[in-house]
Every structure is written in C-alpha cells, then in structure tokens.
Amino acid sequence: MIYLHSICLNEEELPQGFPFNIPCIRSLEEMVFKSPVTFFVGENGSGKSTLLEAIACGLQTPAIGSADVSQDDTL
C-alpha cells in the first residue's frame, strides 16, 4: 500500500479558487505526517463513502454522519 508521508505546496503554482484562496491553506508550505496516511480520490458517485462505510461495518465501528441535525439544539 502507498502511504502519504507529506504534502508540499508551491504558492506560485496554486490555483486561485477554493480551497487555495483560504489564507491558512495558501500559506502552507509543507505538512509532514507522523503516521502514514492513506486517502481515497474519485469522482462523485464512484463509491468512496460506500467503501469506507463497508470497512466500518466490517470492523463493527458505529457509523457517524447520519444523525438528524434538526433535533440538535446547538445549531
């Protein structure tokens, strides 16, 4: 498996749009991860979330992100 160890951004080559127009992202030069990081990339509807939910179910991890926010009095 390939792991992501760091991210380096060259400010001169960054696009002007979101999220690169956010000051904290724009000023980021390098981010080094202390633990290996894996990420999923794909088009909308390609199954990224479904794959992660299937892995979570297989590990018997509770699913998050599906709570009804209409009942949250802090919002």
Average predicted confidence (pLDDT) for the chain: 80
Give the DSSP per-residue string, 26-38.
HT--EEEEEEEE-
- Where do the structural domains in the chain lie, given as residue ranges? 4-65
Tens digit of pLDDT for each residue in 28-63? Answer: 888 898 888 888 888 999 999 898 888 888 887 766
For residue 30, give the nearest of 4, 56, 6 by alpha carbon. 6
Band (17; pLDDT cuts 50, 70, 90): confident
Asked whether residue 65 carries a pLDDT value surpassing 70, the answer given is no
Asked whether residue 7 carries a pLDDT value surpassing 80, the answer given is yes
Is the alpha carbon torsion for 22, 23, 29, 35 positive or negative?
negative
The pTM (predicted TM-score) of the whole model is: 0.43
